[in-house]
Structure 1
Amino acid sequence: MRLLRSGLSRTDVEGQMRNLVESLFRNIPSGVGSHRRVLKLSKAELQQVLQRGAAWAVDNGYGTARDLEHTEEHGCLQGAEPDRLSDRALERGRPQLGSIGSGNHFVEVDYVAEVYDEAVAQALGLFRDQIVVSIHTGSRGLGYQVCDDAIKDMQQATAKYGIKIPDRQLCCAPLTSPEAQGYIGAMYSAANFAFANRQLITHWVRETFAQVLQRSPEALRFDVVYDVCHNIGKFETHTVNGVPRRLCVHRKGATRALAPGHPQLPLAWRYLGQPVLVPGDMGRYSYVLIGTAQGGSETFASSCHGAGRMMSRSQAKKSARGRPIVRELEDAGIFVRSAGRATLMEEIPEAYKDVSQVVDVVHGAGISRNVAQIRPLGVIKG
């Protein structure tokens, strides 16, 4: 998940949103096939992407070093081992770098609707009615294949090490085992692919806004607020029973929310805590929060990473059948484009919980602190 801030306000894009959405949809590949403007990577280039992450994109002209400063781990997880990936994973990933996945992935043009903590918002460069852009996409088919390949290995490992599990999908191996170490090297490679993926999309967002609004990218002042992994295991030091310990923290359906002063935070945000990006649905709102000391000690520096579904995808499709979803959203002031109608049906707003209720719980528990609410003006879905 990545959030970009800009120097634009809502008045700067009035009358331009339809054009912006159409242009973003045209310039950023989306969906399962993702055939528009896809990079033609050589095998050697893909290996560099898997090893270096977002830095590869910046070095090839897609962004600036400043983008890396506001990205988790500077956009590159150390310990990636591209050689661990299967030929099938590489084959699936090669044509998909710089694209939005299907399902709940998106590029969204939003505005800051509410500010709850003026001091933190100002420090993050956020202000009311400001145009921001949210990017939610990951390692695409490459990451899916890494997972698929690992499940086969882990099912064998579970039996090999005599581990009893209640469900086959919980197959696992001891962290120090060859199977686990191989998966970690592959998983970090996929994470680096995802960092590079969001970096390329950021570049095309800047280009598109510059083309449509006829301003230079520099004048638009699109900067990365933060970029963070979802659904990953990270090795971190946390205090357990008063003793600092090196742990593997597995966040699934969660996001990292480091406390103020944590050494792994970018210097710009170290005194504040980590920006926590919580997307909602395409018809309502999302939130920006900030990490807290309480969350750091009580939840291994973890917070919620989204609203969560109220309906299964099949239930959502049934509910949306025959409805003019695009027109419904336009009537609410939100322009949307999608690679297919099926995705829009699966992603109708009511398919998700009201994310404000989730955020209220997180804020009330002190796990992370609410800073701002953002609302969509335009949505690109895969």
Structure 2
Amino acid sequence: MLEGINQIGDLEWEVPVGYVPNMRVPGRFFLSRALAETLEEGAVRQLANVATLPGIVKHSLAMPDIHWGYGFPIGGVAAFDMTEGVISPGGVGFDINCGVRLITTPLTETDLAGRKRDLIERLFAAVPTGVGAKSTLRVSNKELADIMVSGARWAVERGLGTGADLIRCEEEGAMPGADPGAVSAKARQRGLPQLGTLGAGNHFLEVQVVREIIDPEAAKVYGITEGQVCFMVHCGSRGLGHQVATDHLRLLERALGKYGILLPDRQLACAPIDSPEGRAYYGGMVCAANYAWTNRQVIMHEARKVFAQMYGIDYDEMRLIYDVAHNVAKFERHDVDGASMEVCVHRKGATRAFGPNAPGIPHEYAAVGQPVIIPGSMGTSSYLLHGTTIAMQKTWGSTCHGAGRVLSRSQAKKEVRGKELREQLAKEGILVRASHDSVLAEEAPEVYKPSHEVVRVVHEAGLSGIVARLDPLGVIKG
């Protein structure tokens, strides 16, 4: 799969201009030889296709969890000039602001002894899961419009969290630039009943234990200790975000001729950033991103209540370390050839990893950089890392977002039996609760690249530094 690709570092590869016609810049990706065995030719071609888009700056990039996606490869990162560049839903994904948050508790693994199954059942009852899951939280159309603008602050103002939660969210839980007028009635209708729900696919609520501290200094800053029980929430903007992406893809496909944009793949449908179509997509995307931050805030609140009721711990003792998005386009300032430049950074299955003293990260974390959260795959470890200066220089402050699939969901269901997997995980001390066993087959650990190897690559490439390793104790799947 590496034919025609040049290795330019131990873990860094370049796809030269000319790999596909009309490339404006080279492609770059980060991968170990072990992971190269899983590299899909289609994903490399998608990476090269992104390099043909107008206004792309420096490189088309991909992280070590690279795999085939819609338009951009998953794990893809690209920045575009604000004047000549474009914005593309294929560079964000359908689940806008799918993201992860990590929360600590004062409990240890021994505190869960004999009550872990009860805890998992109570969490499963508290957080609606599965395709089309509906929330017990009822919001009006007016409240939904407020959520799309205010994001997680809407929830905190209603007692579903604390002010400190907002400080420890990327963008403090709400991006500016929301345009509720760019969100269709169908998208709103889909979003109204789903606030505070996990959904399906690879989304989860996982109870974990901090098994190992690798960077004690950063761990102290982040407030995480070995043996501590934590929980992690992974989900996004549900049906609202999916519909926003679907609606605007149609509009952008129709606008390609208007702007004379020729594409190697119509899944890269796009428009100039400052065009009416580009502005409308961005405004709708921000609405969906803000909805997603609110969604994770509500789920975290419900999980905190379960822990508080079961173990008699204070709500405030369950501290949000951070919340990071991994499907979003954002306007950011970066250094380009020695000059500060505003660009539109697309991260599609990639996580922001801003380094020490970078703008936009909590003051309390400035010395070590932004927390980065890379989840495992149900039976494998998750990792807390920190952003780096190297990431700021090489990848627009970006790193990988997870392990990356190697089997499709349909392939997984043919090769893995959910019931057997659940029983095997239980023998390993990992309790799993899902709406049905076929969900487990789709998300089995062997369906993904090894999380430890993906994380090793970004650590050794300097894109993020490992702080702690967390192992699963119990998992709720959509």
TM > 0.5 fold call? yes
SS at match of 1:362: helix
1:67 aligns with 2:165: yes
Q: Which residue pairs with 1:2 in the alignment?
A: 101
Aligned pairs, how many?
379
SS at match of 2:256: helix
1:180 aligns with 2:270: no
Counterpart among 368, 371, 378 of residue 272 in structure 1: 368
Q: Which residue pairs with 1:296 in the alignment?
A: 392
* Alpha-carbon separation, structure 1, partners of 2:418 and 2:441: 10
- CA RMSD between the two structures: 1.1
User: How do 1:101-116 residues align onto structure 2 when only pairs under 5 Å count?
Assistant: 101-116=199-214
Measured against aligned partners, the alpha-carbon deviations of 1:117-158 in whole angstroms (never above 9, x if no partner) come to: 111111111111101111001100000000000110110111
User: How do 1:1-150 residues align onto structure 2 when only pairs under 5 Å count?
Assistant: 1-35=100-134, 37-150=135-248
SS at match of 2:255: helix
In structure 2, what residue type is equivalent to 1:20? L
Contact 2:171 2:360 in 1 (8 A): yes
In structure 2, what residue type is equivalent to 1:304? C
1:366 aligns with 2:472: no
* Alpha-carbon separation, structure 2, partners of 1:369 and 1:214: 35
1:224 aligns with 2:320: yes
TM-superposed CA distance for 1:216, in Å, is: 3.8
* Alpha-carbon separation, structure 2, partners of 1:108 and 1:322: 18
SS at match of 1:40: coil
User: How do 1:160-179 residues align onto structure 2 when only pairs under 5 Å count?
Assistant: 160-179=258-277
* Alpha-carbon separation, structure 1, partners of 2:198 and 2:157: 22
> How many percent of aligned residue pairs carry the same amino acid?
48
Contact 1:334 1:379 in 2 (8 A): yes
TM-superposed CA distance for 1:96, in Å, is: 0.1
User: How do 1:223-262 residues align onto structure 2 when only pairs under 5 Å count?
Assistant: 223-262=319-358
Contact 2:166 2:173 in 1 (8 A): yes
TM-superposed CA distance for 1:323, in Å, is: 4.7
Measured against aligned partners, the alpha-carbon deviations of 1:25-82 in whole angstroms (never above 9, x if no partner) come to: 00011111213x5211111111111110000000011011011111111111111111
The alignment's TM-score, normalised by the length of structure 2, stands at: 0.78
In structure 2, what residue type is equivalent to 1:237? R
TM-superposed CA distance for 1:324, in Å, is: 1.9
Contact 1:19 1:212 in 2 (8 A): no
* Alpha-carbon separation, structure 1, partners of 2:436 and 2:251: 34
SS at match of 1:50: helix
TM-superposed CA distance for 1:341, in Å, is: 2.2
* Alpha-carbon separation, structure 2, partners of 1:353 and 1:287: 14
TM-superposed CA distance for 1:368, in Å, is: 0.8
Between 1:152-161 and 1:248-257, the stretch displaced more is 152-161
SS at match of 1:228: strand
Contact 1:4 1:224 in 2 (8 A): yes
* Alpha-carbon separation, structure 2, partners of 1:131 and 1:30: 23
SS at match of 1:126: coil
Measured against aligned partners, the alpha-carbon deviations of 1:268-290 in whole angstroms (never above 9, x if no partner) come to: 11121000100110001111110
* Alpha-carbon separation, structure 2, partners of 1:33 and 1:52: 24
In structure 2, what residue type is equivalent to 1:213? Y
In structure 2, what residue type is equivalent to 1:12? D
In structure 2, what residue type is equivalent to 1:112? V
In structure 1, runs of 5+ residues without a counterpart are none
SS at match of 1:159: coil
SS at match of 1:160: coil
* Alpha-carbon separation, structure 2, partners of 1:38 and 1:122: 37
In structure 1, what residue type is equivalent to 2:182? R
TM-superposed CA distance for 1:217, in Å, is: 2.6
Q: Which residue pairs with 2:378 in the alignment?
A: 282
1:338 aligns with 2:454: no
Q: Which residue pairs with 1:353 in the alignment?
A: 449
Measured against aligned partners, the alpha-carbon deviations of 1:89-115 in whole angstroms (never above 9, x if no partner) come to: 000000000010200000000011111
> Where is the helix percentage greater, Structure 1 or Structure 2?
1
In structure 2, runs of 5+ residues without a counterpart are 1-99
SS at match of 1:111: strand
* Alpha-carbon separation, structure 2, partners of 1:265 and 1:117: 19
Q: Which residue pairs with 2:97 in the alignment?
A: none
Contact 1:89 1:141 in 2 (8 A): yes
SS at match of 2:257: helix
In structure 2, what residue type is equivalent to 1:243? A
Measured against aligned partners, the alpha-carbon deviations of 1:335-366 in whole angstroms (never above 9, x if no partner) come to: 11112222111001110110110111111111
In structure 2, what residue type is equivalent to 1:204? E
TM-superposed CA distance for 1:322, in Å, is: 7.0
Between 1:372-381 and 1:205-214, the stretch displaced more is 205-214
TM-superposed CA distance for 1:321, in Å, is: 3.4
Contact 2:418 2:437 in 1 (8 A): no
Measured against aligned partners, the alpha-carbon deviations of 1:240-269 in whole angstroms (never above 9, x if no partner) come to: 111110000000121000010012111111
